[in-house]
Structure 1
Amino acid sequence: MTGKTISEKILSRKSGQDARAGDLVVCAVDCALGTDGSVPMALDYFAQMGGERLHDPARIVFALDHYVPPSSAKTAGLHQRMRAFAALHGVALHDVGEGIGHQLIVETGRALPGDLVVGADSHAVTYGALNSFATGIGSSDLAAIMITGQIWLRVPQSIRITLTGRLTAGVYAKDIALALAETLGADGAAYQALEFAGPGLQHLELEDRLVLSNLAVEMGAKNGIFPADAQTRAYLAGRTAQAFEAVDPDPDAAYSREIVLDLDALTPRIALPHLVDRVVPLQEAAQIPVQMVYLGTCTGGRLRDFHQARDVLKAGGGVAPGVQLVVTPASREVQDAMEADGTLADFVALGAEIVPPGCGSCCGTCGVIPGDGVNVVSTANRNFKGRMGNASASIFLASPASCAAAAVRGAITDPREITP
C-alpha cells in the first residue's frame, strides 16, 4: 500500500483510523469559526438539535465581519444575538472592527500544523497555509460541532502542485493562484486537496501561502495545504504557546495528478468578469478603463499586500482622476501596523479611502458598493456577477500591485510598467 498525503495523515490522526482517499471518517475538530454570515442560522439549528451546552467552548470562535458596520437594524440584531450567545456559552467573539474571521484565526494562532480547522464560510481553506487541514462547512455542520465536537468528512484525493523557480519583479502570489485557476478551471479540483510542494516554496512567505490556500476553493478544492517549515514556525512564534506536530507527506504518497508551475516564467494575470477561472495574461486586458479599485479581503488585505500596492502608487504619482481607491485592512492588527509604519498615511495622501477592518465591499453586504457600469479591479477572490452588491458592475481580479497600477493609470496596466 502506498504512503499518505498530508490530508490523509491529518484525517487519520483526527479520526483515529487508517484514513485513505475516499473513506468516510468522523473527526475531532480542533477549532471551528462562525461569522455573522453563518452563525445566526447555526444557532437556529443548534436549538432544533436540542443543544443546551457546547462540547468545548474553547474550540469555537465567532467573528463579526460580513456586516461591518451593520447597515440595518436587522444586521445589528444578528450581532446582538451572537454576542449574547457567546457570552452565555463562553465563546470567543471578535467584535465589529477587529477584522475578517479568517485573518483572525491565523493571527491568534488558532490554526496550527496538523490541526483540523473548519469555518462556516468557504474561505476557511485559508488556514491550510499553516499545515492545517482547513475547509469550509455549512451552518448545520457548525451547530453539530458545537454540540459534539466532531464532523464527518470524506477523505479527499490530492493534487500535487509543484512550484519551481522564483517569482520575478512585478509578479506575486495572486498571479500564481490565478494561473492555477486558469489551468484547473472552477471545478478542476472538485473535492480534492491541493497539496503544495517543490523548491519554489522556500521563496514564498507565509503571507504568500495564505493567498494560495485561500484561492484553492475557487478551483473546487476541498482544501489547499502546505507543509510546515521554518517560515511557518517563525510566523507562529509569539502567536501561540501550544505545542504542535507538523505533518509531511510520505515520499510514496499517491496523487490524482501533478501540476508543475515554473515561477520564473510566470507573468501577471487577471481574471475577467464574471468568473474566477476566466484568466488571461494581464497584458491581454491592458487599457480596459477602470473606475474603482479595491484593496482588501481575506485574499489581499494583509500588510505585505498593502506595501506592494503602496509602492506602485507612490511610483506612479497616486490615484488617477475619476478612480475610486478603497482600502480595507483585513484586521485591526494589519491596520495598526499600517499606521505604525506610515502606510496608512501614505494611502490617504495618495488618494485612497480607508474603510474599517472587515469583509468590506467584497461580498456586497456593506462597505463601498460600485455603481452601474463600473469596472472594478480587486484583490478579492470572487468576481461573480453581483458579488460586490451590484450586478451591473464588472469585477476583475488581480494582485495588489496590478490593482494599484490600474488606480494610477485609470485602466488595467501591467505594474511592471510603473515599477520595472
Structure 2
Amino acid sequence: MSKNAMTMTQKILAAHAGLDYVTEGQLITGNLDLVLGNDVTTPVAINEFNRLGLTKVFDKNKIAIVPDHFTPNKDIKSAEHCKLVREFAKKMEIVNYFEVGEMGIEHVLIPEKGLVISGDVVIGADSHTCTYGALGAFSTGVGSTDMAVGMATGKAWFKVPEAIKFQLTGKFKKWVSGKDLILHIIGMIGVDGALYKSMEFTGEGVKSLSIDERFTVSNMAIEAGAKNGIFPVDDVTLNYIKSRTEREPKIFVADEDAKYSAVYNIDLGDIKSTVSFPHLPDNTRTIDKVGDVTIDQVVIGSCTNGRMEDLRIAASILKGKKVKKGIRVIILPGTQKIFLQAMEEGLAKIFVEAGAVFSTPTCGPCLGGHMGILAKGERAISTTNRNFVGRMGHPESEVYLASPAVAAASALAGKIISPEEV
C-alpha cells in the first residue's frame, strides 16, 4: 500500500481543499459546488444567516432551494416558512429556487436539472443529500448552521471519512432492484455500520445498475450512518449528465491500494426482494420470510424511489388490476417532468384505473408531513427511506420499507407479498 493512496471520496475532498493528499480523520475546509436547502431546513439557515450579520451569498448560481416537504403548503405554519424562503431567495437573487409548478422532490430534481455532476462537492441541509454520490460526487447532509455559512462563504469543514468498499458482481434477478440491495446491506451492517464512513460501491456488477438504482442506493447510505455513498463514473453516469449541463464532469478514481476499513463482496444474483420491518431500516427480512403482514396504505415515490424507472415497475404490476378494496395507494412522482412523462406514457392512467391516487411531487407522507398520514394502529408499506417510530404519523403506526415492485404487489393483495405472487 503506497503512503499516499486515497479512496474516491478522499481524492474529491483533497482536490476541493487544494491539497495533494488527505487521510481519514483529517479536518479540512473545502470549496463547495452547490449548497442545498428545503422548506423545512432553510428557514433555520436564514435565521442563522441573519443572526451572523451576513448580507450576501457567495454565488447566486451555486445555491439551490427546493420547497418540497410541505408544499403545496399544508397549513399556515408551512405557508409562513415558504414565504420566508421565497423572499430570501428573491432578495439574494438565487437562480435555482424552484417554486410550486417547477419544483420536485429535491434529491430527484437537483440531478435532473444538471446542478450536480461528477467530482462535485455538495452540502445540503437534508440528510439524504448523499443521493448525488450516484453521479460520482461527494455529497452529504449538514445542519442548517453549516448551510448558512456555506451560502455565505462557499466553503464547509469536513472530517475526511474512512471508507468501506462494496464489491458488486453479477446481476439482479427479476423484480429485484437497487432498493433491495441497499436494504440488504443495511440489514447486514446495521444502522450504524458505516458511521461517518464513505460507502464506496465498485466492481463489475455496478455496470448492471441503472442510474435510478444508483440514486436509490446512494440515497440510503445515511441509513447505515454513512457520511456519503458513492459510485464510480462510467458511461451510465456520463450519459445521464451530458444532456443536462455544459459543465465538464471531473472523474476521480480510487487508488488500487486505497485503504478500506472493511470490504464486502456481494453477488447481485443472490439478493432477494427485501423488506425493512419497524422501527429501524436494518430490521430486514427477505420476502420469503415476511409472514402474514396486512397493510392499510401503500406509498410509492419519495427521493428514494420516485423516478421514472420506479413508476414503470409499479405500473407494470398494477396494469389491468385493482388495488384491494379498502387499501389506500398513493403514487408520488419525483418531479414535474416525471409527472408529465408518467402521464404521456400512460402510467398515470394505469394508477388511477387501478384505484391509486396520482399526486403532485412532494415529500409529504415520508416524514409524516401531509398527503398520507397514518392513524394509530395503521400499517403502511412504503418505498421511502425511514421507518422510525411515528415517522409517517401516529407513534403507534408502522412503516415497512420495500421496493416499488413489492409495494405495488402488496397493494393488490392488501398484505406484503412478492411480485412473483401477482
Same fold (TM over 0.5): yes
Q: What's the counterpart of residue 273 of structure 2?
A: 268
The answer (yes or no) to whether the contact 2:180–2:272 under 8 Å persists in 1 is yes
CA distance in 2, matches of 1:150, 1:23: 16
Q: SS at 2:61's partner residue?
A: helix
8 Å contact from structure 2 (residues 168, 201) kept in 1: yes
In structure 1, what is the equivalent of residue 236 of structure 2? 231
Q: Is 1:126–1:211's contact at 8 Å kept on the other side of the alignment?
A: yes
| Equivalent residue number for residue 377 of structure 1 | 381
Contact 2:319 2:351 in 1 (8 A): no
> Matches of 2:25 and 2:420 in 1, distance apart?
45
Cα distance in 2 for residues equivalent to 1:256 and 1:111: 28
1:414 equivalent in structure 2: 418
1:89 to 89, 92, 96: 92
In the alignment, which residue of structure 2 is the partner of 1:80?
A: 83
Match of 1:305, as an amino acid?
D
1:11 to 10, 13, 20: 13
Pairs aligned (count): 417
Pick aligned residue for 2:344 from 313, 331, 340: 340
* Residue type of the alignment partner of 2:170: G
Aligned counterparts of 1:72 and 1:239: Cα–Cα separation in 2: 35
1:299 to 301, 304, 308: 304
Deviations 1:88-123 (CA, angstroms, capped at 9, x unpaired): 111121112521111111101111111101110000
* Alpha-carbon shift at residue 284 of structure 1 (Å): 1.3
For the pair 1:101 / 2:106, whether they are aligned, the reply is yes
8 A contact 1:145–1:151 mirrored in 2: yes
Question: For residues 30-45 of structure 1, what are the structure 2 equivalents within 5 Å?
Answer: 30-45=33-48
Q: Given residue 387 of structure 2, which amino acid in structure 1 is its aligned partner?
A: N
Q: CA deviation at 1:177?
A: 0.5
CA contact (8 A) 1:117 1:133 kept: yes
- Give CA deviations for 1:190-245 in whole Å, capped at 9, x if unaligned: 00000000111010010000000001000000000001100001111211111121
- Between the aligned partners of 1:216 and 1:298, the Cα distance in structure 2 is 13
Paired AA for residue 409 in structure 1: A
Matched, 1:350 2:354: yes
CA deviations over 1:120-156 (Å, ceiling 9, x no partner): 0000000000000010011000000111110000000
Using the TM superposition, give the Cα deviation of residue 246 of structure 1 relative to its aligned residue in structure 2, in angstroms: 1.1
Question: Does residue 1:182 correspond to 2:187, yes or no?
Answer: yes
- The code of the aligned residue for 2:305 comes to G
**Contact 1:69–1:366 (CA<8 Å) still a contact in 2?**
no
Cα distance in 2 between the residues matched to 1:386 and 1:263: 32
Q: Report the equivalent of 1:396.
A: 400
Superposition TM-score, scaled by structure 1 size:
0.98
SS of 1:362 mapped into structure 2: helix
Separation in structure 2 between the aligned mates of residue 53 and residue 68 of structure 1, nearest angstrom: 26
8 Å contact kept, 1:68–1:367 = no
1:255 alignment counterpart: 260
The Cα shift of 1:2 comes to 4.5
Matches within 5 A, 1:280-291: 280-291=285-296
* Residue of structure 2 in register with 1:330 after alignment: 334
Gaps of 5+ in 1: none
Pairwise CA RMSD: 1.0
* Deviation per residue, 1:326-349 (Å, 9 max, x gap): 111111111011011101111001
CA distance in 2, matches of 1:416, 1:90: 51
1: CA distance, partners of 2:87 / 2:400: 39
Deviates more, 1:365-374 or 1:11-20: 365-374
CA distance in 2, matches of 1:88, 1:95: 15
- Equivalent position SS for 1:294: strand
* Worse-superposed segment, 175-184 or 68-77: 68-77
